[in-house]
Structure 1
Amino acid sequence: MTDLVQQLAKELAVRPNQVEAAIKLIDEGASVPFIARYRKEVTQGLDDSQLRQLDTRLSYLRDLFERREKVIESLKEQNKLSDDLLARVNAAETKNALEEIYAPYRPKRTSKSFKAKEAGLGPIAEKIFNEAIDPTEALAGFSHEDYPDAESQLDAVQHILIDEWAQNIPLTTELKTMFAKTAVLKSLVASDEKKEVGKKFRDYFDFSENLNKVASHRLLAMLRGRQENVLGLKVDGEDDAPLARIDTEYNLETVAPQSRQDFLKQTAKLFWLGKVRPTIEHSLLTEKRLNAEAEAMQVFAENLRHLLLSAPAGSRCTLGVDPGIRTGVKLAVVNQSGDVVAHSTIYPFAPKEDKEGSIAELARLCREFNVDLIAIGNGTASRETEAVVAEMMAANADLSLTRVSVSEAGASVYSASELASNELPDLDVSIRGAVSIARRLQDPLAELVKIDPKSIGVGQYQHDVNQANLAKTLDAVVEDCVNSVGVDVNTASAAILGYIAGLNKAIAQQIVDYRKENGRFDSRQSLKKVPRLGDRTFEQAAGFLRIQDGSEPLDASAVHPESYPLVAKIVEAKATTVKDIIGNTEIIRQVNAEEFADEKFGLPTIKDVLAELEKPGRDPRPEFRTAKFREDITEVAQLTEGMQLEGVITNVTNFGAFVDVGVHQDGLVHISELANEFVSDPHKVAKPGQIVQVRVMNVDVERNRVNLSMRPEGSVAPVKAQRPPRREQNGEQRKPHAKRPQHARPQGDRPQGKKPQSAKPQENKIGGLGALLLQAGIKGSK
């Protein structure tokens, strides 16, 4: 059993043989959705989240192990690989930790130390360090054109010693631990001129906090400020203890003569201040940043998952409305099948201000095409447009219409894409946006997969995190969501088919092209006629592809074709037919799964098949509901403290949730205001797309901030059980290393309303990155 398997088993808290089985399937080309759904016996029940984590970590650890072997080989070639160093290399859990250990040993032919050794100063440096001799006397007889005098020669000797000491990994590791305990992150405005242009960062113009306690969203906000040249960041800490530790390590207090002691102490100071401390500062900040990015991407992924799996309105005729002012409001009617049957443009606002004509056109389209839903994009002029639509609905009360505010994030990206040009070649780019808005109400998943996940809007400022990791994370979420729902192969676009297990963009397009040329697929087996769709691909994809009203009833379910013989045995045993058993709870619950278990079909598969037969093709998404915004509240300035509103959750972070109440600015429900009971994780009580009742707690019109509560008015704030204060050995209460100025507290820490300090829950993770930065006092530049 390999170290890789053991480590993965430990991380996932599963047995090594489960990990080995999953790795074997992954290496054979099986996708995570396929393994999770149809290979439960092989992995002994690993679920999709465990498999996704395993897949991600497997790739990372293989890279780490490969790099580790190269590092060990390099250290062997340099004859530097001691038992202690080998143990530290093998114990490195991250790529950064491994590179940190290897850095002092990495060959550098341009370093000052290397050049000094090439000039012949190596033996002299060793002599000064080991023998009681005056440093200047040790240079007697040395001559080199690059080092013409004693000063330059002693400077070169110091570089040699500093590089040698840097290879004392136990010492540098201890120094890092020592410095980290007192490390403080300080942020200062770069200059007075930056105060005005960078006022969105004003909470951080003079800010300091213990680095270990800096919340991830505050760190990311400060890093963005540094990137925009508004803030200067510095990791500060104590120097005396590390310097004393270096003196102790090399017994510098006992060194003689005095000139040698002074020289070596000066070298130790240069070693710490010029070599080790800058490296440690960078390392600590990098570790903190990477953790913040990882947590941010996890939250992005979770929010994307809930958005993709939000309730579909279904096959209902929908009018898509893309609001605009000067260029007009674009309209598109999409029928029950998602086809565009009409489109138009109205101009209810300046400069034309044709409100009467706009209302008439809206009414005509709704009446002529029996429109059921009106999807209004939530961008610029959305509330003004919604008011026009409401007026039309009031004037045409006989029409059964429901208007819904829909996120238009990414609609413009889709409109200008090659995919949109192929799908809607006869429509102007501006009209395509309205079509996308209508379709994403009918089926959010089918429409949103056409857009780069990073453009959908579940986390702004994505460019601040590692782009490759972000893309991989979000693509995995889309793949999981698409396969959990399944797709109708006779209506699905190439965009959504490309996310089906086993398929790629090329094969997905082949399926669509074959369908256009030969008509609808009558069975799953007929998919094998598609070019390049072989047996292996069919095995991976078939269970997630649905065929409605085909020749084989099971093709409309999630039962995999390889399990059809199992269904046949069950049907025969119950003296019924496949059509009659599907959806027949009475018969299915009489089936004893254990009676049908054999070498080919285990209990997990049999139970899954029975569950699918009971509710075939069930959609895991919730029932469609809509939030009703107050028509008289359209701007932040109109909000007042205590106002009760209905809204929809747009983003969930680890310090709270953001709610759209129809004022063009999402309000924050802090974690302490989500429920009457203590909430440790907002994701457990709040989901994007969830409709909630909120109360306005505080409004800051100048900074465009709104604090909301989901707790009833007058209720007592939840309190987490308090731990007794930590005490040092002498009995005195421990003091914090650094205190953050009160005026620098960002909104994300807690709501502005006054409340007991004990009501503030522990804040330990990052939330959606864009939302975090907004709440930290920062609006993104686009």
Structure 2
Amino acid sequence: MTPISFVATRLELPRKDLENTIGLIREGATIPFIARYRKEATGNLNEVEIEKIDSLLKSFDELQKRKITILKAIEDQNSLTDPLKKQIDNASDLVQLEDLYLPFKKKRKTKADVAREQGLEPLAKILMAQNSSNSEEAANRFVKGEIKNTSEALEGAKNIIAEWVNENQVVRHKLRQLYSRTAVITSKVVKSKKETPEAQKFSQYFDWSESLKKIPSHRFLAIHRAQEEGLVRIILEVAKKKAHEIISQIILKGNSSSSTVISEAIEDSYKRLLKPSFSTEFLNEAKLKADEEAIAVFASNLEQLLMAPPLGNKRILALDPGFKSGCKLVCLDESGKLLHNTNIYPHPPQNKLTEAVQTIISLVEKYEIDAISIGNGTASRETEQIVKSIHFRNDISIFVVNEAGASVYSASKVAREEFPDCDITVRGAVSIGRRLSDPLAELVKIDPKAIGVGQYQHEVDQGKLKEKLDNVVMLCVNRIGVNVNTASKELLSYVSGVGPTIASNIIDYRNKNSGIKNRKELLKITRLGPKVFEQSAGFLRIKNGKNLLDATGVHPESYDIVEKMARTNNMKISELAGNKEVLQKLQLSAYISAEAGLPTLKDIVRELEKPGLDPRSEISQFEFDPSVKTFQDLKEGMKLPGLVNNITNFGCFVDIGIKESGLVHISKLANSYVSDVNNVVKLNQEVMVTIISLDEARKRIQLSLID
């Protein structure tokens, strides 16, 4: 089996495109680079398709590695035959592979092993042949040594037969089909924990049954978490009678004197070996599937969050609100540099409102502030009202930003390195301000799990979660592009081909040389050789440099194409860029070469039409209902504006301007059936919701988008 055949059976894509894409991945090319600059080779595959190929390649490599281990283990036992080796070589998945290995797998001493040591394997073979006239007579010949009577002999033989049934590939295949179709997952409360506060959070799963095939990922993860915390027990079952029928049809050859013994062995095998094995296997598969779905939801939310519109290079006054401890206030320049910090105390118990307002007005004027960013935590609405009541000389934009994860950043090593002389309250306020100017640049400094989106992210495979989220961050960073002269180490680290070490080297180089003047200069940076340059150059932007193309997504390998386009039209590149009329009339077929086909040429033209354009949308201000500040202000039937702040498989959560977000269940998203929440709403989308129920004790709000 080859990597290409392995991937081809799982993805319906042209073989040539697969071969080229796999070749690029094996050469070390990144997904953003392949998707953006190698469209001719891949048949214009997008990032998602290339990521699937990359993931399948990793699965193939894991499978091959496991095959080598298994072949060696069987060979060491002198049990490897040519037919078995061929079966192992041709195995297309881990389940099939592990079934082949099962008879040779080292395990703790079993009942069957004891019976073999007692010399009962010949008896088991006689019984399995199912042509003996009398099983008692056959067993009687083995009554010797440790075996005191025929009952003991038959019991030992049954243990051996039970193990053979368990290792029978046909049996396992048929039972696996039964479990796939009909397995039911049941959860039962642990009685001693039923009344505890921890268990009450999972009360709906105290006596729950559902088809394993149909259970949603969020529900499985909830039940799984309850079991992990020792609050419920999970049982997985299929119809016992049907399972026995399947096994009997394969093992029994008709009525014989040994049929009863074999039937008893089948029952024992199913209860003691097969059922626990398949229960573990299918629950593990369900966990993997639930993990994948939860990770996909988290990744989708993270992508939307990272691609949120930036305010841009503006001077910002940022407020981290609070009551007793006051509001931390910082002023930042256009690049996010900290200019000033102080505290104000407009709220109880200090109530220094006049002094706080005067401080804000003074700082707005002194530092020529363009916009004010207010964190959405405790005292946010109260602080927002105060700021909006101030009459500034100039037009000041006021925004409330999601501060989830700001405290994580403020206590991190990254924050300490950026602001060694500031305490965590200052760092947190700076993060709130920078999130307004460029959400992506700030959020890459924070562990995505702390950003506050997703579902059950702490319950899923943390390795797979990190890998997926790192891919999402990388794709977003490279989709937007990075200013090589201002980007942080964290942001540069996500650029295609760069990584933390080269990111540090880039910063060291630009500090020593008063910035990087052009893309060619990148090759002077330590460890940034031709391969890294190829992967990264198109995503590293140099603003206000001598070469206009250095600020665009046009890769240096295509500069000569742009020069040819400009010469053809008797223009300079600076005259061609932005000239839509000329660009749209270009006969692109005239510029096709072995290296650049129509997909690349179209990308070049799009870049030249709007050189260096940020693909993110423009930011807009949003107003919550001013009459709603706390849970007590809510009433059923009330219609309120809100912002979608989290999306799950079962619905979306909406910020309506108070501490608690409300849930719009998937059934309340639209008048028609909704299969995917993302088809109806997006993160940060402005919506109008209706309150349909309130649970004050648990502070739960049920909302509807249906008018």
| Superposition TM-score tier, normalisation by shorter sequence | over 0.9
Alpha-carbon displacement from aligned partner over 1:620-651 (angstroms, at most 9, x marks no partner): 11110132111221233422233222111112
Alignment partners' CA distance in 2, 1:241 and 1:546: 65
Give the 3 Å change call, closer, same or farther, for CA 134–586 of structure 1 in structure 2.
closer
In the alignment, which residue of structure 2 is the partner of 1:232?
233
In the alignment, which residue of structure 2 is the partner of 1:107?
106
In the alignment, which residue of structure 2 is the partner of 1:743?
none
Larger RCO: 1 or 2 (CA < 8 Å, sep 6+): 1
Alpha-carbon displacement from aligned partner over 1:138-157 (angstroms, at most 9, x marks no partner): 25465556x67766654433
Which residue of 415, 424, 427 maps to 2:422? Answer: 427
Alignment partners' CA distance in 2, 1:89 and 1:167: 19
Is the 8 Å Cα contact of residues 105 and 167 (structure 1) preserved in structure 2?
no
Is the 8 Å Cα contact of residues 483 and 500 (structure 1) preserved in structure 2?
yes
In the alignment, which residue of structure 2 is the partner of 1:725?
none
TM-score, normalised to structure 1, is 0.85
Residues 1:368 and 2:363 aligned together: no
Is the 8 Å Cα contact of residues 123 and 138 (structure 2) preserved in structure 1?
no
Alignment partners' CA distance in 2, 1:98 and 1:674: 44
Give the count of matched residue pairs. Answer: 703
Alignment partners' CA distance in 1, 2:89 and 2:460: 27
| 1:72 Cα offset (Å) | 5.5
| 1:567 Cα offset (Å) | 1.1
| 1:119 Cα offset (Å) | 4.1
What aligned pairs does 1:67-216 form with structure 2 within 5 A after superposition? 67-68=66-67, 70-71=69-70, 79=79, 90=90, 92-93=92-93, 95-96=94-95, 98-100=97-99, 102-108=101-107, 110-130=109-129, 131-135=132-136, 138=139, 140=141, 143=144, 154-197=154-197, 198-216=199-217
In the alignment, which residue of structure 2 is the partner of 1:36?
35
Alignment partners' CA distance in 2, 1:154 and 1:80: 31
Is the 8 Å Cα contact of residues 668 and 706 (structure 1) preserved in structure 2?
yes
Is the 8 Å Cα contact of residues 419 and 427 (structure 2) preserved in structure 1?
yes
Alignment partners' CA distance in 2, 1:52 and 1:212: 26
What aligned pairs does 1:93-492 form with structure 2 within 5 A after superposition? 93=93, 95-96=94-95, 98-100=97-99, 102-108=101-107, 110-130=109-129, 131-135=132-136, 138=139, 140=141, 143=144, 154-197=154-197, 198-251=199-252, 254-256=255-257, 260-349=258-347, 351-379=349-377, 381=378, 384-398=379-393, 400-492=395-487
| 1:136 Cα offset (Å) | 7.7
Of 59-68 and 174-183, deviating more is 174-183
The residue matched to 2:400 in structure 1 has which SS? strand
| 1:350 Cα offset (Å) | 5.1
Alignment partners' CA distance in 1, 2:42 and 2:193: 61
Of 154-163 and 585-594, deviating more is 154-163
Residues 1:16 and 2:15 aligned together: yes
Alignment partners' CA distance in 2, 1:399 and 1:220: 52
| 1:437 Cα offset (Å) | 1.0
In the alignment, which residue of structure 2 is the partner of 1:732?
none
Is the 8 Å Cα contact of residues 634 and 663 (structure 1) preserved in structure 2?
yes
Alignment partners' CA distance in 2, 1:213 and 1:195: 29
Residues 1:653 and 2:654 aligned together: no
| 1:468 Cα offset (Å) | 0.9
Alignment partners' CA distance in 2, 1:89 and 1:701: 61
In the alignment, which residue of structure 2 is the partner of 1:722?
none
Is the 8 Å Cα contact of residues 370 and 397 (structure 2) preserved in structure 1?
yes
Give the 3 Å change call, closer, same or farther, for CA 181–582 of structure 1 in structure 2.
closer
In the alignment, which residue of structure 1 is the partner of 2:659?
664
Alpha-carbon displacement from aligned partner over 1:715-752 (angstroms, at most 9, x marks no partner): xxxxxxxxxxxxxxxxxxxxxxxxxxxxxxxxxxxxxx
Q: Which runs of 5+ in 2 are unaligned?
A: none
| 1:364 Cα offset (Å) | 3.0
Give the 3 Å change call, closer, same or farther, for CA 97–420 of structure 1 in structure 2.
farther
In the alignment, which residue of structure 2 is the partner of 1:620?
615
TM-score, normalised to structure 2, is 0.93
Alignment partners' CA distance in 1, 2:472 and 2:276: 38
The residue matched to 2:102 in structure 1 has which SS? helix
Q: Which runs of 5+ in 1 are unaligned?
A: 713-782
In the alignment, which residue of structure 1 is the partner of 2:604?
609
Give the 3 Å change call, closer, same or farther, for CA 358–110 of structure 1 in structure 2.
farther
| 1:422 Cα offset (Å) | 1.3
In the alignment, which residue of structure 2 is the partner of 1:775?
none
The residue matched to 1:207 in structure 2 has which SS? strand
Is the 8 Å Cα contact of residues 636 and 699 (structure 1) preserved in structure 2?
no
Of 300-309 and 648-657, deviating more is 648-657
Is the 8 Å Cα contact of residues 318 and 373 (structure 1) preserved in structure 2?
yes
The residue matched to 2:191 in structure 1 has which SS? coil
Of 690-699 and 3-12, deviating more is 3-12
Alpha-carbon displacement from aligned partner over 1:441-494 (angstroms, at most 9, x marks no partner): 110011111112222222253221111111110000000000000011111111
Is the 8 Å Cα contact of residues 187 and 207 (structure 2) preserved in structure 1?
yes
Is the 8 Å Cα contact of residues 4 and 61 (structure 1) preserved in structure 2?
yes
The residue matched to 1:559 in structure 2 has which SS? coil
| 1:91 Cα offset (Å) | 5.4
Alpha-carbon displacement from aligned partner over 1:515-547 (angstroms, at most 9, x marks no partner): 111111111111112111111111111111111
Of 667-676 and 277-286, deviating more is 667-676
In the alignment, which residue of structure 1 is the partner of 2:636?
641
Alignment partners' CA distance in 2, 1:96 and 1:699: 47
Give the 3 Å change call, closer, same or farther, for CA 657–50 of structure 1 in structure 2.
same
What aligned pairs does 1:705-716 form with structure 2 within 5 A after superposition? 705-712=700-707
Alignment partners' CA distance in 1, 2:43 and 2:384: 55
Alpha-carbon displacement from aligned partner over 1:317-346 (angstroms, at most 9, x marks no partner): 222222334433222211211111111123
Of 279-288 and 345-354, deviating more is 345-354
What aligned pairs does 1:493-532 form with structure 2 within 5 A after superposition? 493-532=488-527
Give the 3 Å change call, closer, same or farther, for CA 96–171 of structure 1 in structure 2.
closer
The residue matched to 1:265 in structure 2 has which SS? helix
Alignment partners' CA distance in 2, 1:680 and 1:404: 33
